[in-house]
Chain A
């Protein structure tokens, strides 16, 4: 067990957990931030995507040992009161089916659009390829990322 100080969604947070505990389970079980989902546990599905210093990472595969002082954003902290333009686009195009993968999709998309604010369809498809959607809402995800890019430009 060790203590870790993190910044999560702008707030300082201290947790005491085993150092091999993946960030995902600290978020979900210790901090009750359950918007970040568990899908595979081996960095293959993207359901657990959060931002580490603004970059999309797989929280299921990052142990706390490497996170002292880290700055984490989860779906709960993506925007303050109003929706983030990516969330707005998701809503406008009615993207979700079961909805389980969508927080991870949105976190991947927001980080990607920061790096590439004006992507073409090939780039969107490549960027989103690591996020599985078992309901296969892929067509709408692709369109929503493009719409969000437009909203943010």
Chain B
């Protein structure tokens, strides 16, 4: 993980160059797999093909650099930060660099998933190598021109110099460089020489965003395209019995009504007509399977927690014995609801299925998988599928699932015309792929003032914590440790939601630790630090958090938040969590206004390694923390007879500006490889908030959303 100059991929395998017919050097690279033997970048810049390459760098004859990447942007800022890394090693002034989204028009893209906060982590080494290799090629070209040894030349800010004092701009040698061998063993910069990495760079799409240029899927239009509104079963577990589309077809602008599976599409000449047509459809639904209720889910999940059929996910020592020998035992159960993603841009997709190709355009985090599923669905070869990604008005996990793209393809295939499926907010919230409702039961044993045992059970709808989550803190810090999980299979669709599982697990554990600290009569931060002392970094390959990094992060937040030394009337709550390879610690400050908690400030310390773009990084952290607070506080979603009880923002509450605390973000200063930031700010927020509310009011919160319990608490106080 150290930022050393080691890299295993041979550059010959993942970089290729070409001389552009219009002049200039084009570098294609692929940092996940090596390029095919015959892969070659085009000589015509309008023919960029992302089949063999993840991205291209064009260096023009005027020395200006354009980076073409098909990577979709969901708001995590990678479209800015990844080119910064290339520009740093290439050593060009940042204002000579522009970034363009390459239209991805192939099914064979190699790595195109925006999710999991991993883009930077995977790209770091390769992006630096690519920039450094290009720089060396330019130096080599200049040296040849001068007839000197390349080793006597250097380059910086787009200018190459030799020891005689001669200078050439990058643009002056691009055409020569295009014909040179790709050098091996180029040196990378050390962090102290960074000029671009670590400095604020404004979002490269800023002008287009603030002037309202078409960028998003919803903004895409094509000639003769029909706007489509789809009616889907109103409840999970229902299907179509009969329907009457007479009224819908009479709506001005509606051209066609067509059933596909258990859905009906209304095609029209504009969005409003499509939506109106849909509202006038008369559909009789019948029950196909169970119509589920939140109350039943609660009962089922409690049954799992109380039962004996859980799957062991990690077990250290002997938990049973630790509890048997304990002086004290603490046990709590934590509950969370389903949550919809509610991307600000509702789901939508364009499809035009014709005899020779299938053209798809829209906001999707998983283009490759989605293209494959569409090929299967409409029985076409994958070669026929051409999928273009647009900017996305938020993702949060929802756009990993291509259901909306499949709908568009199916409708276009049936009606033989270009269509754009547009979800209303009601469609978006009611046909969700929700964060599953989850309950945790945590117990700890205390003996002689130490935590001797820890037992966590997870009961979730449909699926359980994945990957290394069972090995997150406090795994390794408590001798007798056990994590178990079980699930209840529901017909309600569930999936990844920003920081899957940890978005709620962190709250449960971090509030639990606060109570443990109280029992042990120790400071909550001190308890974490003491536990971390039991962990030896690197000893257990499954344990990927670092006790040292977590300790540093916690110490930083304690200092910056004035932990324990606040003014009267301010109550603090602490939480720390490692997820997505990033360590985060947060302190929430609240005050009481008429007895109600008011979240004033959150101090955040983050160890994400080298911070490539501080302004972008802080934006991610601020967003993640407020998101965590907002959903812990207000996110309330339940089902009655298979139907979601909220479908728009009039009753489904999202955090708004007035409820938003000020976020102060501090980064741990180190030279380690950068890790992701889209998600890790979120998980600790709910726990830190609950702990602050407990400090202020004494009220213990174990169930999200907090606002419900707080209201109950308030009502009781008044009696």
Q: Which residues of A contact B (CB under 8 A)?
A: 1, 17-18, 20-22, 25, 28-30, 32-42, 44-45, 47, 74-76, 78, 83, 87, 90-91, 94, 96-103, 106, 125-126, 128-142
* 7 further A-B pairs in the complex, CB-CB below 8 A; given A97-B75, A125-B660: A18-B273, A91-B207, A94-B200, A125-B657, A126-B658, A138-B626, A138-B656
- The answer to whether B645 has its CB under 8 Å from any CB of chain A is no
Q: Once the chains bind, are B393 and A98 in contact (CB under 8 Å)?
A: yes
Asked if B394 CB lies within 8 Å of chain A CBs, one says yes
Which of A34, A74, A87, A103 has the most chain B CB within a 10 Å cutoff?
A34
Does B594 lie at the interface of the complex (its beta carbon under 8 Å from any beta carbon of A)? no
Given the known interface contacts A30-B270, A36-B212, A133-B344, the answer about A97 and B619 at a Cβ–Cβ threshold of 8 Å is: yes
Shortest B100–chain A CB gap in Å is: 17
Q: Are B656 and A129 in touch, CB under 8 angstroms?
A: yes
Note all chain A residues with C-beta closer than 8 A to B663: 139
| B28 close to A (CB within 8 Å) | no
Evaluate whether A129 and B211 lie within 8 angstroms (CB atoms) in the complex, with A98-B393, A135-B344 already known: no
Contact in complex: B626, A136 (CB < 8 Å): yes
State the total of A-B contacts with C-beta under 8 angstroms. Answer: 185
A44 touches which of B75, B76, B273, B648 (Cβ 8 Å)? B648
Q: Is the CB of B344 within 8 A of A34?
A: no
- Which residues of chain B have a CB within 8 Å of any CB of chain A? 73-77, 200, 202-203, 205-207, 209-216, 218-219, 221, 227, 252-253, 270-273, 275-276, 342-346, 391-396, 422, 424-425, 615-616, 619-620, 622-624, 626-627, 630, 648-650, 654-658, 660, 662-663
30 contacts between A and B (CB under 8 A): A1-B252, A18-B272, A22-B272, A29-B270, A32-B221, A35-B211, A37-B216, A39-B649, A41-B424, A83-B210, A87-B211, A91-B206, A94-B203, A94-B206, A96-B205, A96-B209, A97-B77, A97-B623, A98-B345, A98-B394, A99-B393, A100-B345, A103-B210, A125-B658, A130-B656, A134-B343, A134-B396, A138-B626, A138-B660, A142-B657
Interchain CA distance A40-B253 in the complex, whole Å: 22
CA distance A18 to B270 in the complex (A): 11
Complex Cα gap A137–B618 (Å): 10
Contact A129 B657 (CB under 8 A): yes
Chain A nearest CB from B659 CB (Å) reads 9
Contact B211 A137 (CB under 8 A): no
Residues of A close to B74: CB separation below 8 A: 98
Contact B210 A137 (CB under 8 A): no
Q: Which residues from B are CB-within-8-Å of A29?
A: 227, 270-272
Bound form: Cα–Cα A79–B210 in Å: 11
Are the CB atoms of A40 and B202 closer together than 8 Å?
no
Q: Is the CB of A135 within 8 A of B623?
A: yes
The answer to whether residues A28 and B623 also contact, given A36-B212, A100-B394 and a CB cut-off of 8 A, is no
Residue from B77, B218, B270 within 8 A of A37 (CB atoms): B218
Question: Given A74-B212, A138-B657, are A39 and B344 also a contact pair (CB < 8 Å)?
Answer: yes
Write the chain B residue with the least CB distance to A96: B209
Q: Of A30, A74, A99, A131, which is in contact with the most chain B CB atoms at under 10 Å from its CB?
A: A99
Alpha-carbon separation in the docked complex, A114 to B275 (Å): 35
CB-CB nearest 9 A-B residue pairs = A35-B212, A100-B393, A98-B75, A75-B212, A136-B626, A99-B209, A44-B649, A97-B75, A34-B219
Contact (Cβ within 8 A) A44 B650: yes
Complex Cα distance, B207 from A106, in Å, reads: 13
Contacts of B627 in A (CB 8 A): 135-136
Query: Are B212 and A134 closer than 8 Å at their CB atoms?
Result: no
Query: What CA separation (Å) do A22 and B273 show in the bound complex?
Result: 11
Measured CA separation A20–B272 after assembly (Å): 9
CB–CB B649/A40 < 8 A: yes
Cβ–Cβ < 8 Å partners of B626 in chain A: 136, 138-139
Determine the chain B residues whose CB is within 8 A of the CB of A138 once the complex forms: 626, 655-657, 660
B615 touching A42 by the CB < 8 A rule?
no
**Known contacts A136-B655, A139-B660, A18 near B212 by CB under 8 Å:** no
